[in-house]
Structure 1
Amino acid sequence: MLVSLELLIVGRSPERVEELTQQLAESQQMLTLTPYVAPSNSLPDEALYPLPDAILCCVNADWREGVWELIETIPNPRPPLFIITPNNDMDFLRTAMRMGVRDVFTLPLQAEETANAIARLVREERARRGAAGSRLISFMNTKGGSGASLIAANVAIAMALRARADPRLLLMDFDFQFGGLPTYLDLKVRDGLIKALQFVESLDEVALRAYIQRHDTQVHLLAAAMDEIIIPEDVSPARVEAMFETINGIYSNILVDLPHRIDAAIAAILQRSDVIALATQQTIAHLHETKRLIFLLHKRLNIDSDRLLLVINRYDRRAELSFNDFRDVFPTLAIQTLPNDYVRASESINLGEPVCEKAPKSPLGIGLTNLAEVLTSRALISGEEPHEQQQRGWLSFLKRQPA
């Protein structure tokens, strides 16, 4: 799960430190910024406790050589170090590399690019240390009715069956009005998610047990009852953030089925997600909606392509759009397909029996199991065009980004 990063900003100039803090605060990254004006070439213990995720040193003409002395006072193991400087000559870069600085940025500051670079390197370091917490995978339809809920439920079952010794998997239904995951798993509808958000201040691993429902595969479900009308404005983004902070690390994997909308609470979940699986189908309308949603994720929420997986559900080689049409329009995205099996999918929903549990050897069961493996791998990969003559897509005009 992507969590807020603690960044300590250090410098000798109060004005420069304050300016840098304000600029980075406007970025789309989840950063908790702590400015610190260093009176000398050292950092006291109180500035390093608790230890930040990264330290950014703001160098100027009056404080250039002194930064090396300050870095040497930071005890090992040091958090990732970064420097921003008005002048970036080769000797300075060599010294920075020798001192273990991860990157050097030059003024004028490109706040969004700088924040993205710092966040990416820090999260890579967290993953290398195994300190990344829970893996958060979100599922969303690019157009209503594309099958994201069925996919989310079955991927959860497939992951739990593969890791029976230690499933530690939580499935969450964030559609407060029309969520159907309890039906998919033949579980009674409860208001566990609403209660967890309501009492988030006292939520911990023990309290969480009272709100979840347990499937016989050991998947834990956190869903909302539909006895009352809950509108998006009723759900506080701050409570959503606090809940995810609390449950991070309790489960190895957290899967979230999201409604087809983006509000403040949903945006908070999307920005935290390690992977976002977008369910679509082979129609022009789906392709247009997919293109718009991905544009919003990129440009408004600052979510990189390497965190997105496009899932073409109910794939049919006779449909109006081919696999290559999607690949031509979205060349930077990983794309997977699921076979069209309407009868088996309908039976699964009506009986509350997940395909991956009751028919794992069926084409749809195999496809969902393979998708679960892709979603838990370190890097998302594309599948191949399923059993059809490779042909060039004809929708190249859709490659153009909307204005």
Structure 2
Amino acid sequence: MENNLNIMIVSDEEALMSQLKTIAETKTSHVIGVRSNEAIREMNRELAHIVIFVQTENDTSVEVVQMLKIINSNALILFIANETDFTLLRNMTRAGVDEFFVFPDESSLFSSRFPNIVKSYSAKKVANEETVSTTFGRGRGKIISFYSGKGGSGCSLLASSFAQTMKLESSAEVILIDLNGQYGGVETLLSIESNRSLADLLPVIEELNESHIRNVAQTEEFSKMEVLISPCDPEILETLNDEFVAKLLRTCRRSFDYVVVDLPTAINELVVTAMEESDKIYYVLTPDTPSLKIMKQYEELSERLGLVLTSRMEIALNKLSKDYEVKQKDLINVLRYPVIASIRQDTKGLQPYVNQGQPVRKQTNERKIIPFAKDIRKFARQVAKQ
């Protein structure tokens, strides 16, 4: 079995999905099945090497296949049509389809040819391992969301400090997106003044590209990272929807190495979409009982909403102090998710920066930095190694 290959089956028909899964699982154990409207999101989450795409009823096949090829230009795409159609064949070939089959007429042909198709692709992948290592996943930045169900946990401060540190500590392209739509906040922490916000991208969302994003984003003075500010207006926020957030994050993923998203406490369609698009969700947790209870409720809500947190969510412990009755070792014993960072309570060192609206880091190799900044630097370096 080619266990190093990921196969994604895209079909809106359950019966055909089951049939294709049975065939695919004979060659690899890494097989997932998704509906056509979820294919792009899943491809962004985890690259599929081979895609078996079943023709959709709403004529979106060409558009979706094109997007899949943009995300992973090396993907092998096998298209299954429901009837012989020369125009469709031509359009799908132009979109990037490698093999074209008609079901049910050619179902037996597909079954017999599939093992050889996988074997040939696998051999080609191994032969070009060095080239593949640099081209596979090109344009696939990492989306990292910071979230806390409890207000006052320091989520925005952690998100902005983390993003700035990632930019200072590496040559990576980093963008910070503030989705705290009602009041914002990131611009105050970073001393950014501008009338432009991510809502200005709404008129061009259908053809959104890196140039549009950089024209609207603000450049943070010290680290030179890009920042997309929240509109800070409830009325403007209502004009944005989940599709806008999805397209914004996907475009940023293709243009930046790290996309850091600061999420508000309230759960709505924008927040859920951002979480679905995220590779990692860092839940900011303070060492107290109310925070633990709220996190438990968030886990239950996520399960009802169908949000997959396993392997994606990690805990960032914030405001750790000897004054708290709940200790870090106690938290680690009760938490279901791994702890990625431990940030000390540093009121004395941190407060002047917050009050003045100054970032905690200003240079790459600073000798004297406050304990909070040291912990964030350790956090960022650990994430960079993943």
The alignment's TM-score, normalised by the length of structure 1, stands at: 0.67
Aligned with residue 67 of structure 1, among 83, 97, 111: 111
1:370 corresponds to which letter in structure 2?
K
Q: Which runs of 5+ in 1 are unaligned?
A: 80-99, 101-124, 379-403
Q: Is the 8 A contact 2:162 2:380 kept in 1?
A: yes
Q: Is the 8 A contact 1:17 1:37 kept in 2?
A: no
Q: Is the 8 A contact 1:356 1:368 kept in 2?
A: no
SS in 1 for 2:362: helix
Q: CA deviation at 1:25?
A: 3.0
Aligned to 1:393: none
Aligned to 1:306: 311
Aligned with residue 369 of structure 1, among 353, 377, 383: 377
Aligned with residue 250 of structure 1, among 250, 255, 266: 255
Q: CA deviation at 1:270?
A: 0.6
Q: CA deviation at 1:186?
A: 1.0
Q: Is the 8 A contact 2:8 2:34 kept in 1?
A: no
SS in 2 for 1:311: strand
Q: Is the 8 A contact 1:190 1:224 kept in 2?
A: no
Aligned with residue 297 of structure 2, among 292, 296, 299: 292
- CA separation of 1:319/1:149 partners in 2, compared to 1, >3 Å: closer, same or farther? same
Aligned with residue 321 of structure 2, among 316, 329, 334: 316
Identity of paired residues, percent? 19
How many aligned positions are there? Answer: 321
SS in 2 for 1:131: coil
1:278 aligns with 2:283: yes
1:369 corresponds to which letter in structure 2?
R
Aligned with residue 34 of structure 1, among 54, 78, 87: 54
Aligned with residue 174 of structure 1, among 173, 179, 196: 179
1:220 aligns with 2:204: no
> Matched residues in 1 for 2:99 and 2:319: separation?
44
Aligned with residue 157 of structure 2, among 150, 157, 162: 150
> Matched residues in 1 for 2:138 and 2:341: separation?
29
Q: CA deviation at 1:51?
A: 4.5
SS in 1 for 2:191: coil
What do the CA deviations read for 1:317-368 (whole angstroms, capped 9, x no partner)? 3312111232222144234210111122221111122223377632211101
2:144 corresponds to which letter in structure 1?
I
- CA separation of 1:361/1:57 partners in 2, compared to 1, >3 Å: closer, same or farther? farther
What do the CA deviations read for 1:73-119 (whole angstroms, capped 9, x no partner)? 5795469xxxxxxxxxxxxxxxxxxxx9xxxxxxxxxxxxxxxxxxx
> Matched residues in 2 for 1:344 and 1:56: separation?
65
Aligned to 2:35: 25
> Matched residues in 2 for 1:58 and 1:153: separation?
51
- CA separation of 1:280/1:193 partners in 2, compared to 1, >3 Å: closer, same or farther? same
Q: Is the 8 A contact 1:7 1:31 kept in 2?
A: no
1:376 corresponds to which letter in structure 2?
A
SS in 1 for 2:323: coil
- CA separation of 1:323/1:299 partners in 2, compared to 1, >3 Å: closer, same or farther? farther
Q: Which runs of 5+ in 2 are unaligned?
A: 1-6, 21-32, 44-52, 56-79, 127-131
Q: Which has the higher helix share?
A: 2
Q: Is the 8 A contact 1:232 1:263 kept in 2?
A: no
Q: Is the 8 A contact 2:350 2:370 kept in 1?
A: no
Q: CA deviation at 1:315?
A: 0.2
Q: Is the 8 A contact 2:81 2:102 kept in 1?
A: no
